[in-house]
Amino acid sequence: MTHVRTALIVGGGVAGPVTAIALQKAGIEPVIYEARSTAPTTGAFLTLGSNGIDALRVLGADTAALAAGFPTPRIVLRSGTGKRLGETRTGLTPPDGTTSHTLTRADLYRALHEQAEARGVRVEFDRRMVAAEETSDGVRVKFADGSEAFGDLLVGCDGVHSTTRRIIDPDAPAPTYAGLLNAGGYVRGARMDAEPGSYEMIFGKRAFFGHVVAPGGDVWWFANLPRRDEPARSELEAISEGQLRRQLAAAFADDEGPALRLIDATSEITPLTAVHTLPRLPRWHTDRIVVLGDAAHAPSPSSGQGASLSIEDAIVLAKCLRDAPTPREALASFEAVRRPRAEAIIKWAARVNNAKAAGPVGRVIRDAMTPLFLSLTANSKSHQQTYNFHIDWDTVAVGASSPSLKSAGSDGP
């Protein structure tokens, strides 16, 4: 045990509450500090992979998240001409039959916060961390309102635009624009003749469109629009809903499929946002400060793995803190175990992202290669390693710099 008794967790998105639950299980008292004033109630949806569900189950925290979503085991890929390119799965099936689930980001945040609060975890909203410094025996954190907090450890769960990352390394790379803009929406009672839970993804002539029918008949959709240069946030914010509708209509005008109809039937479209990923981060930690989740390794959303990786990180970090002799060794062990897995998934997701943003020549090659790519992907070793990942809470953490901790465990990449 590292003698870490208290942890300051900055960020209450996906990783924050799960880290709190996992650290508490390891005997550490956590407090979550979240910059927003409340949890979000609107916005986009995401897919929780079978590996993310399995990881939540290690903490006994999976039920609420599953209840808030619906199973989405399959993806059918099509070209803009309507040609079926192939089919793959969004995850494997864990032993109890649970498959990957889709749910709104707001519902996932809510479900995870409820789990943390039910275990007595303190969550403070309206607390934006602006600075932190290590002392001889802990970390002092400063917030935008002038207040401070002190703990044995600081865990940065503050997302892709992390402040903690720059505290660890002022030269840390900034997130880079992934060449795609994202928008989405929900169509109530759409009455589509499609199998609930089966995603249809269309590599259109100009943009990418994904949709899925929820069990009640609503359709959930998202669109990725390629754009080479990154628009300023002010430019995106200035786009009116009417302008966005016209932009989406133009993007999908020449494609087969339901995109135009669904966009038209959507009462409120989520505003366009630029998709960011994080270049390789040289340092994940100091002696007592560490980043995890998107703050350490944000894959393209095309991976469908960002949330699941964040949840896995939280549990592995707790195990390392439980098993290593010092905080520094625990954090080194954590990075050694998690970096190879995160980087392998990021590499794969970047390939999918490039396929979405392909130009005319790239599109022809992509359409020709997709069936082969899919048949390899669904059965490939890397697909198995991504979705079939299990963390055993009871084994000793792997990869610790302490020689006694190097060989045991099963949480490797």
Ligand X SMILES: Cc1cc2nc3c(=O)[nH]c(=O)nc-3n(C[C@H](O)[C@H](O)[C@H](O)COP(=O)(O)OP(=O)(O)OC[C@H]3O[C@@H](n4cnc5c(N)ncnc54)[C@H](O)[C@@H]3O)c2cc1C
Positions touching ligand X (CB under 6 A) are 10-16, 33-36, 44, 46-47, 128-129, 157-159, 163, 182, 275, 293-295, 301, 304-308, 310
Nearer residue to ligand X within complex by CB, 44 or 66? 44
Find the shortest distance in angstroms from Cβ 298 to ligand X.
Answer: 6
CB of 113 to ligand X, least distance (A): 10
C-alpha span between 378 and 76 (Å, rounded): 12
Residues composing the chain: 413
CB of 291 to ligand X, least distance (A): 9
Distance CA 386, CA 228 (A): 30
| Cβ contact 70:214 at 8 Å | yes
- The Cα–Cα gap between 308 and 392 comes to 16
Tell me the closest approach of the beta carbon of residue 17 to ligand X, in angstroms.
Answer: 9
How is residue 25 written in tokens?
């299980």
- Minimum distance, C-beta of residue 177 to ligand X, in the bound complex (Å): 12
Query: What is the layout of strands, in order, in the sheet containing 45-48?
Result: 45-48, 101-104, 70-71
Angstrom distance (rounded) from CA 7 to CA 352: 37
8 A C-beta contact, residue 410 and residue 392: yes
State the nearest-atom distance from the C-beta of 308 to ligand X, in Å. 5
Residue closer to ligand X, measured from CB, 157 or 187: 157
Shortest CB 265 distance to ligand X, Å: 21
Q: Residue 257: left (phi > 0), alpha (psi -120 to 50), or beta? A: left
The answer to whether the beta carbons of residues 338 and 320 sit under 8 Å apart is no
183 versus 396: smaller Cβ distance to ligand X:
183
Least gap, CB of 321 to ligand X (angstroms): 18
Q: How far is the CB of 232 from ligand X (least distance, A)?
A: 18
CB of 260 to ligand X, least distance (A): 21
Q: Nearest-CA neighbor of 325 among 407, 408, 397?
A: 397
195 vs 112: CA distance, rounded Å = 29
* CB closer to ligand X, 75 vs 396: 75
- Cα angle 5, 294, 167 (rounded to 5 degrees) comes to 60
Specify the residue, 147 or 395, whose C-beta has the smaller distance to ligand X.
Answer: 147
User: Toward ligand X, which CB reaches closer, 185 or 293?
Assistant: 293
What is the DSSP code string of 249-303? HHHHTT--SSHHHHHHH-SSPEEEEEEEE-PPPS-SB-SSEEE-GGGT----GGG
Q: Which of 18/405 has CB closer to ligand X?
A: 18
Between residues 387 and 409, which has the closer beta carbon with respect to ligand X?
Answer: 387
Rounded to whole angstroms, the Cα distance separating 153 from 4 reads 7
Residue closer to ligand X, measured from CB, 17 or 327: 17
Residue (of 88, 53, 85) closest to 71 by Cα position? 53
Looking at the Cβ atoms of 138 and 301, the one nearer to ligand X is 301
The DSSP secondary structure of 178-202, one letter per residue, reads EEEEEEEEEETT---SS-TTEEEEE
